[in-house]
Amino acid sequence: MNLFDLSGKVAVITGSSRGIGRAIAEHMAAHGAKVVISSRKKAACDEVATAINDKAGKQVALPVAANISTKDDLKNLVEETNRAFGHIDTLVCNAASNPYYGPQGGISDDQFRKILDNNIVANHWLISLIVPQMIERKDGSITIISSIGGLKGSTVLGAYAISKAADMQLARNLACEYGQYNIRVNCIAPGLIKTDFARALWENPETLKASTARSPLLRIGEPDEIAGAAVFLASRAGSFTTGQTIVIDGGATIS
């Protein structure tokens, strides 16, 4: 038995047209899952789905554009997935927003609300839309991509860090609520990863040096290095793991 085999599973991954989300979709597909590629831009979703399908030699990826801030878009995402694949076994809430970089006192109300709505409320919406079928089958895996920002104080990422700490608590609450139905809910908390989303943190040489100087591995991570944990949590290998936050940061938070 391959503990990481995802054959027959269907996974919805938000924010999966690039970065960590794309890496998760690619590796889940490589382990046998059918995957739904979702982000705001249809063309980007189509490109990733085509690349995954071409590699697999068959249709295993479905592109469905959705803006996580719009509840109707999320409903359509669930409906289109069910229509194409019949069910949803795994949800990865990866899409997030961070429109502000700076001290907490300088953030506008609209920026603060957008961060909280997209990074917390949208996850709650999508989970609530998908979880009824998991309850009916008494099986499912939900993974929220959080951040080590939710474990530390920050002078420049305050609202984002608040939202990511809340995601960890959301996972713990839902793990307690849905555990009786054999539904696992967890978080992955990446450190600094080389993605477009985190470009402001690694493109500047001084910021990069400061971010890695005390990290045991002395470097930032790559999206593929996060994807393995998502595969683990969706597979039989992770079937006794729930309510946890798996930190993947090159050791940054221990030093």
Report, as residue numbers or ranges, the catalytic residues.
Answer: 160
Q: Strand 10-14: give its sheet, edge to edge.
A: 61-63, 34-38, 10-14, 90-93, 140-145, 183-190, 245-248
Q: What angle do CA 238, 197, 207 make, to 5 degrees?
A: 105
Q: 164-173: b or e for each residue (b if 16 or more CB lie within 10 Å)?
A: bbbbbebbbe
